[in-house]
Amino acid sequence: MRFLTISLLAIGLLVSSTVFSADIEIALEAELANTIQAPMIIADDKDASDGKFIWMEGAPVAGGGGQGWAEFIINIPEKGKYALWGYVIAWDGNSDSFWVTWQPADPNEDAQATQNTQFRWGVAQGAAWHWDRINHWLDGGTFDREWEFDTTGEAVLRIAVREDATMLDALFVTSNIKATNEGEASVRLPDDKDRKIQVEGLAVNPKKKIATTWGSIKKQYK
Ligand SMILES: [Ca+2]
Ligand SMILES: [Ca+2]
């Protein structure tokens, strides 16, 4: 009987680690970014996750934008491909885009300066909070993005202002790159546990160590 139990346990472990290997999923609160550079700011909204979101404040008007950003240090637990989803509001055609770079999968490029459309996210419009998979809006069309990481550890995601008034409430990182809608991707907003992990940095490392390593990443990709 004991042998049977152990065997079943072993099979169970084998099955769960192969057939049912779960996607990696990380839920992040936009306003808990490691760095927020003005004029991008944190603002209040009772309908936003944890009551706050980030944006470059202003009415959605033509022109403007192009300054300010938020940076997130994300611990990549396994090598491989990842997709990103944003929980957003984009009122109209003048408030529906960001620049997105995620190092080291992306180069250390200031997309606000280079205007490289590879990093241009055309945000799905809507006046209520909704999920949108981060894409690149190229001159020839808009395509879902995926990022491939050859190393584990800290990766630096920058969401930079392109147009005034585009709003970001939360982010969802997933290794499920196939999903094209939020149901398939099992997107979710961060809960208290997610926020705790995000605030404390990598669960196992003190914040000081992250800062040091972040410095070396910047140096490496300069
Ligand atoms: Ca636009
Ligand atoms: Ca939020």
| CA 109–ligand 1 middle distance (angstroms) | 21
Residue 16 has pLDDT above 70, yes or no: no
C-alpha 87 to ligand 2 mean position (Å)? 9
What is the rounded average pLDDT for all residues in the chain? Answer: 87
* Per-residue pLDDT at 40 exceeds 50: yes
State which amino acid sits at residue 111.
Answer: A
Listed residues: CB within 5 A of ion ligand 1: 93, 96-97
Q: For position 117, what pLDDT does the model report?
A: 98
Is 17 among the domain residues? no
- Does a structural domain hold residue 12? no
User: How many folded domains does the chain comprise?
Assistant: 1
The CA 163 to ligand 1 mean position distance, Å, reads: 7
Whichever domain contains 102, its CATH number is: 2.60.120.260
What DSSP character marks residue 32? G
Asked whether residue 161 is domain-assigned, the answer is: yes
Q: Is the pLDDT of residue 173 over 70?
A: yes
Domain assignment present for residue 143? The answer is yes
Taking the centre of ligand 2 as the mean of its atom positions, its distance from the CA of residue 131, in whole angstroms, is 13
Q: Does 220 fall in a domain?
A: no
Q: Ligand 2 centre from 42 Cα, in Å?
A: 9
Q: What is the pLDDT of residue 219?
A: 42
170 in any annotated domain: yes
Range of the domain at 129: 23-206
d(CA 25, CA 13): 20
Q: Name the CA radius of gyration of the chain, rounded.
A: 19
Distance in Å, CA 190 to ligand 1 centroid: 27
The better pLDDT of the pair 87, 201 is held by 87
Please report which ligand is nearest the Cα atom of 45: 2
Classify residue 221: in a domain, yes or no: no
What's the whole-number mean pLDDT along residues 155-175?
97
Once rounded to an integer, what is the mean pLDDT over residues 121-150?
Answer: 97
On the 0-12 / 13-18 / 19+ scale of CB atoms within 10 A, 41 is middle
Mean pLDDT, range 75-79, rounded to an integer: 94
Residue 67 in domain: yes
CA–centroid distance, 58 to ligand 2, in Å, is: 18
Q: Report whether pLDDT(75) > 90.
A: yes
Q: pLDDT tens-digit profile of 102-131?
A: 999 999 999 999 999 999 999 999 999 999
Could you give the CA distance from residue 195 to residue 207 in angstroms, rounded to a whole number? 15
pLDDT confidence band for 38 (50 / 70 / 90):
very high
Residues with beta carbon < 5 A to ion ligand 2?
A: 29, 48-50, 52, 169
Confidence of residue 65 (pLDDT cuts 50, 70, 90): confident
